[in-house]
Amino acid sequence: MKFFSTLLAGVLFGTGLVVSGMADPAKVQNFLDLFGRWDPSLAFVMLGAIGVTMPGFWLVQKRATPFFSDMFHLPQRSDYDAHLVAGAATFGIGWGLGGFCPGPAITALPITATGTLIFVPAMLIGMAIAKYVALGVWCETSN
Amino acid sequence: MGGALIGLSAVILMAANGRIAGISGLISRILPSSTSRIEVPQNFMFIVGLVLAAPVWFLVSGHFPAQFVSSNFPTMAIAGLLVGFGAVVGNGCTSGHGVCGISRLSGRSFIATLTFMGTGFLTVFIMRHMVGG
Q: Using one digit for the tens of pLDDT, what is the confidence trace for A24-36? A: 999 999 999 998 8
Arithmetic mean of pLDDT over chain B: 90
Mean pLDDT of B18-24: 90
User: Under an 8 A CB cutoff, do B80 and A100 touch?
Assistant: yes
> Cβ of B61 under 8 Å from any chain A Cβ?
no
Instruction: Give CA–CA dist B100/A46, Å, rounded.
Output: 10
Percent of chain A with pLDDT over 90: 72
Which pLDDT value is given to residue A77?
A: 85
User: Under an 8 A CB cutoff, do B65 and A24 touch?
Assistant: yes
- Please report residues of B whose CB lies closer than 8 A to that of A34: 121, 124-125
Which pLDDT value is given to residue A137?
A: 45
> ipTM of this model?
0.93
pLDDT at A132 over 90: no
Most confident of A10-19, A66-75, B25-34, B89-98: A10-19
Categorize the per-residue pLDDT at A57 as very low, low, confident or very high, splitting at 50, 70 and 90: very high
The answer to whether A48 touches B7, Cβ cutoff 8 Å, is: yes
> Cβ of A134 under 8 Å from any chain B Cβ?
yes
The answer to whether B2 touches A18, Cβ cutoff 8 Å, is: yes
Mean pLDDT of A75-99: 93
User: Where exactly are the structural domains of chain A?
Assistant: 2-134
Instruction: Give CA–CA dist A72/A27, Å, rounded.
Output: 35
Which pLDDT value is given to residue B41?
A: 83
Position B82, amino acid: L
Q: Nearest-CA residue of chain A relative to B118?
A: A92
Arithmetic mean of pLDDT over chain A: 90
CA–CA min distance B29, chain A (Å): 10
CA–CA min distance A39, chain B (Å): 12
CA–CA min distance B60, chain A (Å): 11
pLDDT at B99 over 90: yes
Q: Nearest-CA residue of chain A relative to B46?
A: A10
- Among left, alpha and beta (phi > 0; psi -120 to 50; other), residue B69 is beta
pLDDT at A41 over 70: yes
Report which of A88, A69, A21, A136 is spatially closest to residue B101, judged by C-alpha positions: A88
